[in-house]
Structure 1
Amino acid sequence: MPLSGHCLCKAVTYTVDVDAPLIVGYDHCDDCQRQSGSTYSLVAVVPKDKLTVNGPIKKWSGTGSSGHAVHRLFCSDCGSPIAHDPDAAPEIIALKAGTFDTEIKKNLKPVCSAIPCNSPPY
């Protein structure tokens, strides 16, 4: 069963053609703290080529700790953050786990407290 989710106003929806994220964890980088307004952002890393996004997405790009660009995707209507897309790891994208559909969120189990854990650096 694919993963799915949406922004606060439901103008942006997405599906990921996988049964589970590659990894779920807490991202404590300064940029994720600022984007989430919290001390961390719970993210679910998925293969980028399995993600389909529909709706009015805007993008803001900055430089990640790797020195490469990180593209932050958000709803252009309500401003909800949807994902961050690191150029340093072009095969993956980190979805903001709070945007998953409710039943999917209930079953997420974070495995680390410092993304990228064992994944490529952002």
Structure 2
Amino acid sequence: MTEVREARCRCGQLSAACLGEPVRVSVCHCLACQQRSGSAFAAQARYPADRVTITGEHRTWTRVADSGREVDYGFCPNCGSTVFYTGGNFENFMAIPVGAFADPAFPPPHFSVWERRKHAWTEVLGDEVDHSS
């Protein structure tokens, strides 16, 4: 049986049901992810878009990434939590913030990107983590 992981906004009305394991779990230190997460970095899991079912009302905000590509963020209109985003360098995939799963046993990241923007006091640990600037 294939596992379904469910991510939710803080008030619970918007959710993303993700089928199977993520194809990529990463930590991003870019300034946009810092602003989105309200933290020094953001952790996200990527799934093929056809393996994610969104339930509940959401609003979309679009920004242009450094690559010039658009990224669409889906967030709850009640509590403001970002539950998913699409676009950018990963077309046909949906990114889900790892914290939205509220699962301390969620798979760890294997990528740490935009490290040139990393706060000096942070460190992403693990023997299998690919560190890139």
TM-score when scaled to structure 1?
Answer: 0.84
Amino acid at match of 2:106: N
Give unmatched runs, 5+ long, in structure 1: none
Q: CA deviation at 1:101?
A: 4.3
Larger radius of gyration: 2
Matches within 5 A, 1:1-122: 1-18=3-20, 20-102=21-103, 105-114=104-113
SS in 1 for 2:84: strand
Letter in 1 for 2:16: Y
What is the RMSD of the two structures over their aligned residues, measured on CA atoms? 1.9
2:97 partner letter: K
TM-score of the two chains, using structure 2 as the length reference: 0.78
SS in 1 for 2:11: coil
Query: Percent identity between the aligned chains?
Result: 26
Equivalent-residue separation in structure 2 for 1:10 and 1:68 (angstroms):
30
Report the Cα distance in structure 2 between the residues aligned to 1:87 and 1:40, rounded to whole angstroms.
18
**Aligned equivalents of 2:28 and 2:94: distance in 1?**
13
What letter matches 1:113 in structure 2? Answer: S
The residue identity in structure 1 corresponding to 2:83 is: I
- How far the C-alpha of 1:73 sits from its partner, in A, is 1.2
Runs of 4+, deviation exceeding 6 Å: none
